[in-house]
Amino acid sequence: MSIFEQLESEVRSYCRGWPVVFDRASGSRIYAEDGRPYLDFFAGAGALNYGHNNPVLKQALIDYLARDGVTHALDMFTAAKRDLLVTLEEKIFAPRELSYRVVFPGPGGTNAVEAALKLARKVTGRKQVVHFTNGFHGMTLGALSATGNSLHRRGAGVPLVHATPMPFDRYFDDSFPYLGYFERLLDDPGSGLDEPAAVIVETVQGEGGINAASAEWLRGLQELCRSHGILVIVDDVQMGCGRTGPFFSFEDAGIEPDLVCLSKSIGGYGLPMALTLIKPELDVWEPGEHNGTFRGVSPAFVTAAEALRVYWSDDELEKSTRAKGERVGIGLQNVVERFPEAGLVAKGRGLARGLEFSGGELAGQVCAAAFERGLLLETSGPGGEVVKLLPPLTLTDAEVDEGLEIIAESVKSALVGGR
Amino acid sequence: MSIFEQLESEVRSYCRGWPVVFDRASGSRIYAEDGRPYLDFFAGAGALNYGHNNPVLKQALIDYLARDGVTHALDMFTAAKRDLLVTLEEKIFAPRELSYRVVFPGPGGTNAVEAALKLARKVTGRKQVVHFTNGFHGMTLGALSATGNSLHRRGAGVPLVHATPMPFDRYFDDSFPYLGYFERLLDDPGSGLDEPAAVIVETVQGEGGINAASAEWLRGLQELCRSHGILVIVDDVQMGCGRTGPFFSFEDAGIEPDLVCLSKSIGGYGLPMALTLIKPELDVWEPGEHNGTFRGVSPAFVTAAEALRVYWSDDELEKSTRAKGERVGIGLQNVVERFPEAGLVAKGRGLARGLEFSGGELAGQVCAAAFERGLLLETSGPGGEVVKLLPPLTLTDAEVDEGLEIIAESVKSALVGGR
Amino acid sequence: MSIFEQLESEVRSYCRGWPVVFDRASGSRIYAEDGRPYLDFFAGAGALNYGHNNPVLKQALIDYLARDGVTHALDMFTAAKRDLLVTLEEKIFAPRELSYRVVFPGPGGTNAVEAALKLARKVTGRKQVVHFTNGFHGMTLGALSATGNSLHRRGAGVPLVHATPMPFDRYFDDSFPYLGYFERLLDDPGSGLDEPAAVIVETVQGEGGINAASAEWLRGLQELCRSHGILVIVDDVQMGCGRTGPFFSFEDAGIEPDLVCLSKSIGGYGLPMALTLIKPELDVWEPGEHNGTFRGVSPAFVTAAEALRVYWSDDELEKSTRAKGERVGIGLQNVVERFPEAGLVAKGRGLARGLEFSGGELAGQVCAAAFERGLLLETSGPGGEVVKLLPPLTLTDAEVDEGLEIIAESVKSALVGGR
Amino acid sequence: MSIFEQLESEVRSYCRGWPVVFDRASGSRIYAEDGRPYLDFFAGAGALNYGHNNPVLKQALIDYLARDGVTHALDMFTAAKRDLLVTLEEKIFAPRELSYRVVFPGPGGTNAVEAALKLARKVTGRKQVVHFTNGFHGMTLGALSATGNSLHRRGAGVPLVHATPMPFDRYFDDSFPYLGYFERLLDDPGSGLDEPAAVIVETVQGEGGINAASAEWLRGLQELCRSHGILVIVDDVQMGCGRTGPFFSFEDAGIEPDLVCLSKSIGGYGLPMALTLIKPELDVWEPGEHNGTFRGVSPAFVTAAEALRVYWSDDELEKSTRAKGERVGIGLQNVVERFPEAGLVAKGRGLARGLEFSGGELAGQVCAAAFERGLLLETSGPGGEVVKLLPPLTLTDAEVDEGLEIIAESVKSALVGGR
């Protein structure tokens, strides 16, 4: 492992909790070089909703590569992009009666967020963006300004500006007037909150600790924004593409954001790809005003389109995700109830689930114990106090149960001691 | 083509000059759906130095996919990343006696730049960054602040700060005291230029119009920076990976930047990938302080490592690039001399070449005429007045000549009229 | 009046409500050119706590001028400054067991605030400042960033940064967890609120609508700040110098701010002067690091020192202000009760009092009606909905009653109609 | 002196070079408590152009105070303000065929600058301001951003933004293409210099080291700005009110700035006062959009108007200043020639004069030696290397000669040693 220590920057992170060298992966399993399999409840931090190396997507990808399909195309017209756009329209937009134009903002989630923020500011002429406590939107300077985590913020090296945090749904106790407070600030010309161009919000905060906003809050937020000329950006990078059940995580709440950021699983196969969906009336950039080298990664377009066809032509995956999500939720609740003195909390929606501990150390011990038992789990939340479950949506019920079993053991091990 | 017009944002750009749908590509050729081949002197804006779908890299990629090698791995340890690091060390760093640590900053060039800027500011505690007239570094807010182009800057929607432009080498006339002026501002405590954390510089400005800095200027710049505690960031996203001959574009100047940004061709096959190389003493980020979903794109690591092994185990490619660059240079000079009244200027180094016209309209007409003749060329420069040649480094001499022939005809057509 | 319309910028404001030309003034009265007297319940927006042209101060001032005392002295040592410092120590600091160093920041309140913000940021190395809803701190860029009023903020021409508003005491309803919410943001490393260098707070918000903070809130705020390394800046520009009773408005709350901004009445006679008081351990600026031409306005030092001697050698003025404040409060409460259907609210503390109406139009009508009746009153609050009473502290009980009588009539006139 | 050391912040500065306590002053002399007179070639850093306690102005001031003229009036209409406006129009604007509207921005120079910058940005909708190397404009955050001196800039505690320095006339050597370089940056859409709202410039940089811009440069600058929609702000705080001869320092160059900042000597008597003069078409602020407590300091208006009447009803003062300026210039040149090996440089225009030394230490020694001999002189320039002469314009030829004599002796003492 010495080459990593010798050459790779100390900023490396996940490898510290999982100190093995991975080599192969398939479905819900990833294999270390020595062949040891790990059940993956992490799934590329949500980038592998359809599992590792999904065989149907893999075939489409290899076929495309084998026949010398264009690989890199910037924003040229390609057959692969046409297929993607047509499929997006047919499988996603039309059935949901959504009308979006598609920006190819660059290859990652932070590019999708930067494009959304830039465009929202340009369209409205306002500078301020409201984000929410414990939100996570990316590491480039614009996205980072709207990200809550102080470790990441300190990494910027400059003060982060033009972004103001508001309390996310249920951030404080029940008596807190969540949207009422925000509304007061907006209505009061003396509040000191400059009129926002946009709010940027996750429906379920993944990095922030699996905090799920209620439908009421999301609807209220959209209504409040509409009445103040504020654009609504849903960052669906981690929670979109079916993670919570429906394709877009905001569908259950019945809202219709002005801009939507997609990345991670949109490419289907784990290849870098991102989209910023914008209401047609926001399509005001001049040609090339936002650009970038990796906007047209055709292999990812191929797997993206294929994934949409395979998984979103009907509601099978959505139903299955909801059902498995329930199964996971019940399993976590069982763990909660098994250790009542530990004050655990089961959180989440769909297959974005979390188990909250009293502190980050304990949650870290659970993840370490799970790793020993062959399960990949990461922590999230501001203090790392939430064990986060983001398994592939394609896992089996048996894999759900296997994972839950290991989690239960790992919690016991961490709380009670012993292996 | 209607789906593009219907769904894709108006920000799309390259497709406007090349209104065909591309499908396949191989080597120096890209093919429209109707089978028409185009000689590609654009090469993914420098992302395809080894040609489209390079067969050796393609085989390695398909093999990796076929055997279910891990595709998406964040910053976990993987066999693919180890192979990449070992190969980087053996083929690139060691032979050049360079000592860098490798940050995986995210998938694109702008991520590499953001990481470099963030880290430089954090290390030095300074906020200001000096960039150069007509430099291009990316579209996310940090990188955009250091980018000269006003169309792109206006896209930000917020004022861009903490970055001050200095004149690039030969920006003005010969009498201009380039580094002397910069030095004066640095030495004068009353100049109003806050101490910079870093300079970020391209050795040859690609987007800026194929402006090649002299070795003297680059050396002087490094010396000046060293004496003022300013870090030197070379943005080698477009000019690195052999574009000017040597692997790093700064090798000929004999400088050793503190940070180097690589992307575009580093992945070999056109897949998104980027690296930020940093001097070991700059490796101060805490684990996870900068992160991102697509830091570990293993398929790109596979093609990247294979490309290093195939093309950088000896100096064949470097020599060949220099030779073909000369061939292109001579060809362009011939065009210049054929139309003396047009005041054309042949520019560039290695296989980053340009032909400067009196204005952007003329240059655009040349590109359009070339497209009709089956050659892809883009314009660059602040007013689009430079026809830019970035062919694959792997093109043949015959392809060089074919391209030059079309260029000559296209210039004639644009200047004189007729087909 | 045409020269004003011809030459003075449209930004002029107070003259619009009081369209007469004033000439002389004495005590609580100011006289128009035609000799008509106006009872002044505005008192230079709090700059004339000791009345217009207070005879004792006037004599000291004329004597000083007559004997050619130094007028303008930058930050040279002068006898006038020495006298001021000695008197500050004897009459103000020592009796209150306060230990402050004195910065002469420039002539106005905004200079005092800018100096405080700059120093707080420099000392802590943090950039963020927390201010409060409807706070007012000045019109220069640093102070304006921490000011709530959107009309003023829009005047900046640039986005205002490094300042975040928090809810002032009783900004929302009683159930709102005022300091609890702020504490949560501070304690949560994922909240997105960068660690503040300082809070800047008024104990009673004058421009913001005569909102008086409770002692509990102020103490809780100081405690919270202390526990997070946040400096407390009390902007006592309008509420200091006895306006609420004690010399410093924060005395009743028993807090001891790290920095205190004084201006307006500190000079005694209405001449421009300001002080920034800082805890000795904050005295880190290098000589001249902050400077300015009008830091040493000796005539103002003379009247300032004389005012301290005359009015702050005992607690007579403090007692009198409290008593008259009560008298005003009762009077306003009577007005409130006389028009129960109007939903008026009597507000304030000491001789900073307000009468809140349902909207700014009504409050403006009251002020207009009062002006007709020979009383100067201004509105305040984000929508101008609060009639603000800041009479000279030296007014007589008869003047209190006279003013209250006019206010009652004016309210009646505005609510009921007729003269 | 202990009370100063005990209570006054270490930021105090001038008192360090002149460690005596001053008490009285008259004309060109200021007296220490012990009665020792000092010839004042510093004159309140340019705030005392008409001398200390000018008897004519003094009488007007005392009369006004004695008759209880309004002292403090915010922006109410007053007889004193009317007189000032009428006099400004009659004595200053009309004879010069200038058309300005008058903003009362607050009491000091930095307020005048902040108002100018805010308004220029608001009018143009642009954020960027171009300032010049070694310019000085004030200590509040907006003005400080446009100030060159790094000691002052570091005092801000936040990064200073939206301001870019350009080289002042003759900043570099003669071959430098001063305005040509600026023009190139403006014309080039790829330069990275965002379109400026305004330039802010001193015609002679006082704090910056008595650097006098040529008329050609000033005219060229205005022309360049006009052609790019950039407003020209002349900061005439130190050089206006006759310091260089004519009332406005820019008159000789024949330019007509869009905005002019006046302070220091505009009040005549050293009382705080400032004006921002704006072209009528820039008068776009809403009532009260910019405000402040000390905008209407009537005593200063009285002495200001009187000074205009006394000194600017004819061209006597202007001629006298030019003549005395020449006399000083010749005297300094004599010093230069007396010590040829020291490489001194005599600088300046009118009665803004400087003697440049090889370093700040030497210049400081000259000032110390002069102080011992009863002459007040300060240093200026980025390294304090320029001895600066700003005597009252009203000094006599004998006082000129007396001062020059002391300077010559002090230079000899500093260069050669001995008393």
Whole-complex ipTM: 0.97
Q: Which of A383, C199, D45, A5 is nearest to B77 (CA)?
A: A5
C7 interfaces chain B, CB cutoff of 8 Å: no
pLDDT of C68-87, one tens digit each? 999 999 999 999 999 999 99
Helices (H) and strands (E) in chain B, counts: 14, 17
Contacts of C17 in chain D (CB under 8 A): none
Q: Is the pLDDT of residue B267 over 70?
A: yes
CA atoms of B384 and C125, how far apart (whole Å): 44
Quick one: pLDDT at residue B337?
97
Contact status of D147 with chain B (Cβ, < 8 Å): yes
**End-to-end CA gap in chain C:** 26
Share of chain B above pLDDT 90, in %: 98
Chain C contact present for B125, CB below 8 A: no
Q: Other C-beta atoms within 10 Å of C397: how many?
A: 11
pLDDT of B102 reads: 98
Percentages helix, strand, coil for chain B (3-state, rounded to 5) are 40, 20, 40
| A125 touches D at CB < 8 Å | no
| Chain A contact present for C381, CB below 8 A | yes
Does C158 contact B159 at a Cβ distance shorter than 8 Å? yes
Contacts of B199 in chain D (CB under 8 A): none
Residue C158: its chain B contacts at CB < 8 A? 159
What pLDDT is recorded for position A175?
87
Confidence of residue D419 (pLDDT cuts 50, 70, 90): low
Q: What region does A329 belong to: left with phi over 0, alpha with psi -120 to 50, or beta?
A: alpha
The chains in contact with chain A, meaning 3 or more Cβ pairs closer than 8 Å, are B, C, D
User: How confident is the model over C331-340, as pLDDT tens digits?
Assistant: 999 999 999 9
For residue range B142-167, list pLDDT tens digits in order.
999 999 999 999 999 999 999 999 99
A147/chain D closest Cα distance in angstroms: 21
pTM here is 0.97
Distance from CA of C51 to the nearest CA of A (A): 30
pLDDT at C418: 62
Mean pLDDT of D310-327: 98
- Establish if A158 touches chain D: CB-CB under 8 angstroms: yes
State yes or no: pLDDT of D395 exceeds 80. yes
Segments of chain A assigned to CATH 3.40.640.10: 59-311
The verdict on a CB contact (< 8 Å) between A194 and C133 is no
Residue B1 pLDDT more than 80? no
**Within an 8 Å CB–CB cutoff, is residue A319 touching chain B?**
no
State what percent of residues in chain B have pLDDT above 70: 99
- Confidence band of C419 (pLDDT split at 50, 70, 90): low
B236-253, pLDDT tens digit by residue?
999 999 999 999 999 999
Query: What number of C-beta contacts closer than 8 Å exist between A and D?
Result: 3
Q: Which of C132, C133, C162 lies closest to A161 in CB terms?
A: C162
pLDDT tens profile B389-415: 999 999 999 999 999 999 999 999 999
Q: How far is C314 from chain A (nearest CA, A)?
A: 38
Q: Is D76 an interface residue toward B (CB < 8 Å)?
A: no
Rounded to whole angstroms, the Cα distance separating C206 from C147 reads 12
Average pLDDT across chain A, whole number: 97
Q: How far is B360 from chain D (nearest CA, A)?
A: 12
Distances in Å between the Cα of D379 and the Cα atoms of B368, C236, C411, D355, D376 are: 63, 36, 60, 9, 10
Does residue B164 sit at the D interface (CB-CB below 8 Å)? yes
Mean pLDDT of D52-77: 98
Cross-chain Cβ contact D188/B382 below 8 Å: yes
Beta-carbon contacts of residue C359 (< 8 Å; ≥ 6 apart):
C383, C385
A82 phi-psi bin (left φ>0, alpha ψ -120 to 50, beta other) = alpha
Decide: B71 and A271 in contact? Cβ < 8 Å: yes
Confidence tier at C417 by pLDDT (50, 70, 90): confident
Distance from CA of D74 to the nearest CA of A (A): 22
C159 touching A, CB under 8 A? yes
Per residue in A31-69, pLDDT (tens digit) is 999 999 999 999 999 999 999 999 999 999 999 999 999
Contacts of D159 in chain A (CB under 8 A): 158-159
Question: For residue D144, what is the enclosing H or E element?
Answer: helix D141-145
Percent of chain D with pLDDT over 90: 98
Name which of B153, B159, B184 is nearest D162 (Cβ-Cβ).
B159
Quick check: C355 pLDDT over 80?
yes
Helix (H, G, I), strand (E, B) or coil at C11: coil
Judged by a CB distance cut-off of 8 A, whether residue A124 touches chain C is no
Would you call A66 an interface residue with chain D, using a CB distance cutoff of 8 Å?
no
> Cβ of A133 and C185 within 8 Å?
yes
Interface test with A, best of B7, B239, B278 (most A CBs within 10 A): B7
Contact A190 C208 (CB under 8 A): yes
Q: Positive or negative CA dihedral for C139, C142, C148, C153?
A: positive
Is the CB of B4 less than 8 angstroms away from the CB of A278?
Answer: no
Asked if residue C169 lies in contact with residue C202, where contact means CB atoms within 8 angstroms, the answer is no
Q: To 5 degrees, how large is the angle CA B158–CA B162–CA B164?
A: 105
pLDDT exceeds cutoff 80 at A151: yes
Chains that touch C (3 or more CB pairs under 8 A): A, B, D
Q: How far is Cα of residue A358 from the mean position of the Cα atoms in its chain?
A: 24
Contact B175 D175 (CB under 8 A): yes
Confidence of residue B174 (pLDDT cuts 50, 70, 90): confident
Work out the end-to-end distance of chain B between its first and last CA atoms, rounded to an integer number of angstroms: 27
B15, closest residue in chain A (CA to CA)? A76
A135/C172 CB distance under 8 A: no
Q: Write out residues 170-209 of C within 8 Å (CB-CB) of A.
A: 171-173, 175-177, 180-181, 184-185, 188-195, 208-209
Please state, rounded to an integer, the average pLDDT across all residues of chain C: 97
Predicted confidence (pLDDT) at residue C1 exceeds the cutoff of 60: no
- In this prediction, residue C31 carries a pLDDT of 98
CATH assignment, B2-54+316-416: 3.90.1150.10
The 10s digit of each residue's pLDDT in A88-131 is 999 999 999 999 999 999 999 999 999 999 999 999 999 999 99
Report the alpha-carbon distance of residue C312 to residue C43 in Å, rounded: 19
B158 chain-C contacts, CB cut-off 8 A:
159
- pLDDT tens-digit readout, B91-144: 999 999 999 999 999 999 999 999 999 999 999 999 999 999 999 999 999 999
- Which residues of chain B neighbour D146 with C-beta distances below 8 Å? 192
Give contacts of C24 with chain D, Cβ < 8 Å. Answer: 67-70
Q: What is the pLDDT of residue D418?
A: 63
The predicted structure's pLDDT at residue A56: 98
- CB contact, 8 Å: D121 with chain C? yes
Residues A314-352: tens digit of each pLDDT: 999 999 999 999 999 999 999 999 999 999 999 999 999
Contact A141 B142 (CB under 8 A): yes
Q: Average of pLDDT values for C157-178?
A: 95
Q: How far is C176 from chain D (nearest CA, A)?
A: 32
Chain B residue with minimum CA distance to A17: B76
CATH number, span C59-311 = 3.40.640.10
Q: State the pLDDT confidence band at B419, using cuts at 50, 70 and 90.
A: low
Q: Does the beta carbon of C142 lie under 8 angstroms from any beta carbon of chain A?
A: no
Which of D149, D194, D379, D380 is the best residue to mutate to test the B interface, defined by the most B CB atoms within 10 Å of its own CB? Answer: D194
pLDDT, tens digit, 9 for 90 and up, residues C371-405:
999 999 999 999 999 999 999 999 999 999 999 99
Q: What is the pLDDT of residue D1?
A: 57
Question: pLDDT tens across C283-333, in order?
Answer: 999 999 999 999 999 999 999 999 999 999 999 999 999 999 999 999 999
Cβ of D189 within 8 Å of Cβ of B150? The answer is yes
Cβ contact B347:B379 at 8 Å: no
* pLDDT level of residue B175 (50, 70, 90 thresholds): confident
Report yes or no: B158 at the C interface, CB cutoff 8 Å: yes
Side chain identity, residue A106: G
Q: Each residue of B5-20: pLDDT tens digit?
A: 999 999 999 999 999 9
Helices (H) and strands (E) in chain C, counts: 14, 17
User: Boundaries of CATH 3.90.1150.10 in chain D?
Assistant: 2-54+316-416
Q: Would the CB atoms of C181 and A175 count as touching at under 8 Å?
A: no
pLDDT of residue B417: 79
Inter-chain touch D22–C294, beta carbons under 8 Å: no
DSSP, residue by residue, C376-396? E-EEESTTS-EEEE---TT--
CB contact under 8 Å between A158 and D158, yes or no, is: no
pLDDT level of residue A214 (50, 70, 90 thresholds): very high
| Ramachandran angles phi, psi of B346, nearest 5° | -90, 135
